[in-house]
Amino acid sequence: MPVTPNRLLDLADGVGQVGVMFRYRLLDRALNPAGIVSPLNECSISASSERDTKRTLSGFNLGAREMRQINPFSDRIQPVVVLEDGTEWPCGVFVFTDAPEHIGTYVSTLEADLADQDSILNQKSRFTYQVNPGGSITAAISDILDQAGIIHRNLPDSPRLLVPGTDALIWASGTSRMQMLKVLCNLGGWLPPYFDNDGVCVVKPPPAIDSGFPDHIYDDRRVAYDSPVVNGNLLTAPNVFVVIGTGPSKGEIFASAQVDARLPFSVENRGFEVVDVFRTQGIVSTEQAQFMANQRAMAGAVGFMNLDFEGPIDPRHDLFQTVYYPTLQASFREVSFNLKLTAGANMSHSLTQGGFSGGST
């Protein structure tokens, strides 16, 4: 869905330079406001939908007075872009992952590494976890989030069930909750879980690349001159997609699908296979595995073109979004972006024309 319009961020007619400032909210564990802090350095955000920990905040250094406000074990940091029109745009919620204190003669400083709340889900579970046949996928996701203390969430309404007669889903003690959630989301046909700009855990279906309603549209006015770089990565694009079910009682269930033979990187045109393999629990039939393989092949065959460019700061960018680029008359999914939280800095974007691959039951 298109992002919220804003004449400053959209560089509407008559808009030249845009005044921005940056605020760093201090939040408690429940994401309630607990104050404001002011880092000593300019910070930057790196975001990628292809990592388990999808956002990081770097350059976050605090002086002694600011340090006394913070409990790095439970507090969170939320950077916010404030525009000259008074609107505020949050850019994610981050937890402290490393916070060494530098002791000085006159002043002490805290130089912290922060990551988004994915880092909580990436922690290992103490106990074995099991979802029995016929159990609700959504209920299992909600239960795992409860165990991790994630209270802000946006989950699908669908009461999808595991197919009756399948093996139970079982994860051993020491498995990360993120690994469990990714399997459950794939069975539901959803994207892996992620935390949005407001710090809410989101599980949703993959957006359609060519729906006609992209999240962002970038015409030449919003792209830095001479910054776009187009790379057709067809030489490394998979042309065979394999899905393997790993249920304990049925043994491996196998299915594969090839991209359209007319594509330049297809097996027929290249003369050899470039194979992508996906393994998961919860597949009960070759028909289900074949459907998932077909879906992954269709997503991978949208057209493997990469586009990198820079533009003005736009805090409306979030994870798993779509971008339409009129110059190329093509729609893309955004793989990553980098936002330096300083006035006048450009924001960099990396896009790919391949579709989102989400499993489905």
What span, in angstroms and rounded, lies between the C-alpha atoms of 355 and 361? Answer: 18
Nearest CA among 5, 194, 195, 178 for reference residue 92: 195
Does 106 have pLDDT greater than 60? no
| Mean pLDDT of the residues in the chain | 87
Comparison of pLDDT for 69 and 142, the residue scoring more: 142
The residues facing 338 across adjacent strands are: 46, 348
- Alpha-carbon distance 120 to 76, whole Å? 12
Secondary element (H or E) of residue 309: strand 305-312
What mean pLDDT is predicted for residues 154-181? 82
The C-alpha atoms of residue 81 and residue 83 are separated, in whole angstroms, by 6
Q: How far apart are CA 199 and CA 54, in angstroms?
A: 12
Where residue 89 falls among pLDDT bands split at 50, 70, 90?
A: very high
pLDDT tens digits, one per residue of 252-266: 788 999 988 877 788
In the chain, the amino acid numbered 245 is G
pLDDT, one tens digit per residue, over 303-348 is: 677 899 999 999 999 999 999 999 888 889 999 999 999 998 999 9
* Tally of CA atoms within 13 A in the half-sphere of 140 that contains its CB: 26
Per-position DSSP letters for 32-71, written without gaps between them? -EEEEE--SS--EEEEETTSSS-EEEEEEEEEHHHHTT--
Instruction: Indicate the Cα dihedral angle 353, 181, 51, 152, nearest 10°.
Output: 100
| C-alpha 237: how far from chain center | 21
pLDDT band at 238 (very low <50, low <70, confident <90, very high): confident
With contact defined as beta carbons under 8 Å apart, do 108 and 68 qualify? no
| CATH architecture group of domain 129-202 | 3-Layer(bab) Sandwich (3.55)
Q: What percentage of the chain reaches a pLDDT higher than 90?
A: 51
Per the structure block, which two tokens stand in for 215?
Answer: 């999240």
Alpha-carbon gap, residue 225 to 160, rounded angstroms: 48
Helix, strand or coil, per DSSP, at residue 114: strand
In 199-301, the DSSP E strands lie at: 201-202, 216-217, 229-232, 240-245, 253-258, 275-280
